[in-house]
Copies of this chain bind each other. A is one copy, B any other.
Amino acid sequence: MERDDVLLPVEPVFLKSLRSHVYGLVRDAILSGKLKSGEKLNERQLAGSLGISTTPLKEAFRILEAEGLVRSEPRRGIYVTFDPAQAEEMMLARAAIESMIARQAAKRVSEEQILRMRALLIEMRTGLETVDVLELINLNERFHNVIHEASGCAYLRRLQGGQSIYNHTARLSVLSEERERFLAVEEHEAIADAIAERKPDLAEQRMRDHVIRSGEKHLIRVSQSEDQKDRA
Interface residues of A (CB under 8 A from B): 12, 15-17, 19, 55, 58-60, 62-63, 65-68, 74-75, 85-86, 89-90, 92-93, 95-97, 99-100, 104, 153-156, 158-159, 162
Mostly helix, strand, loop or mixed at chain A's interface? helix
| Minimal Cβ-Cβ distance residue in B for A67 | B66
Residues of B within 8 A of A104 (CB): 92
| Minimal Cβ-Cβ distance residue in B for A82 | B155
| Minimal Cβ-Cβ distance residue in B for A83 | B155
A143, B113: Cα distance in complex, Å: 41
19 new A-B contacts at CB < 8 Å, known A15-B74, A68-B155: A15-B75, A16-B74, A58-B59, A59-B59, A62-B63, A63-B63, A66-B66, A85-B155, A86-B154, A89-B153, A89-B156, A92-B156, A93-B100, A93-B155, A95-B100, A96-B96, A96-B97, A96-B156, A97-B97
A52, B8: Cα distance in complex, Å: 41
Of all A-B residue pairs in the complex, the 10 with the closest CB atoms, nearest first, are A66-B66, A96-B100, A89-B155, A62-B62, A96-B96, A59-B62, A63-B66, A86-B155, A62-B63, A96-B97
Residues of B within 8 A of A60 (CB): 62
Contact A92 B86 (CB under 8 A): no
A93, B66: Cα distance in complex, Å: 16
A193, B85: Cα distance in complex, Å: 27
A-B contacts, 26 listed (Cβ < 8 Å)? A12-B74, A16-B74, A17-B74, A59-B62, A62-B62, A62-B63, A63-B63, A63-B65, A66-B66, A66-B162, A68-B158, A68-B159, A86-B155, A89-B153, A89-B155, A89-B156, A92-B104, A92-B153, A92-B156, A93-B97, A93-B155, A95-B100, A96-B96, A96-B97, A96-B99, A96-B156
Contact A156 B93 (CB under 8 A): yes
Residues of B within 8 A of A162 (CB): 66
A221–chain B nearest beta-carbon distance, Å: 20
A166, B70: Cα distance in complex, Å: 26
Residues of B within 8 A of A158 (CB): 68
